[in-house]
Structure 1
């Protein structure tokens, strides 16, 4: 019998300050917090996934190319994220990408939108309808 993978359940990252990280991710992405503890927090990340954060004081920023991606609806939302990252938080975008950045703790995040129809299957149909995505015949 072969294994059937249904998707990604969660992504876990380390942050240097859990309270600041919660504020940052709520502000930049409007994520809904599911739960939090003394040194951790969990956010809804799409229909069936979540983002787990664990505080690790004194951590060194990651400089590798490891990353995870967050999908937003369209280019306008992508532009909002870029503006907030650069204007409000003073973060630099990684050149050569539409919206790759390192959060204040060095975690690399890639933000994409639905311009690529190969990503559309990730959304519930009602979200596809809301997004108004049209495909060529």
Structure 2
């Protein structure tokens, strides 16, 4: 629906940014991976995913396409919602996640806050 946002970085926090796009401030949740890549850019472009629930519309932003792709794969797993997917991306790098999945390393994925053994096993499958 909203594939990306490009505009002026107004505010940056480790969990979200505010991007001014033609006078409209968008609140976008981000991972720590994206936070470290943004640095102090004045103009910014983030790839986005809009999650719509009955009580909220939430934008999630990603600096790199592979991070967004991995996020979309994670949230397609039963028991992994957008907040959990973002927590996984904040705790492990994309390469670490992919390596843990390919190696069947449940323990690494289970170290993420809020991920139990069953969810870690579903992520690997």
TM-score scaled by length of structure 2: 0.25
Structure number with larger C-alpha Rg: 1
Between structures 1 and 2, the one with greater helix share: 2
Q: Which has the higher contact order (CA 8 A, sep 6+)?
A: 1
Between structures 1 and 2, the one with greater strand share: 2
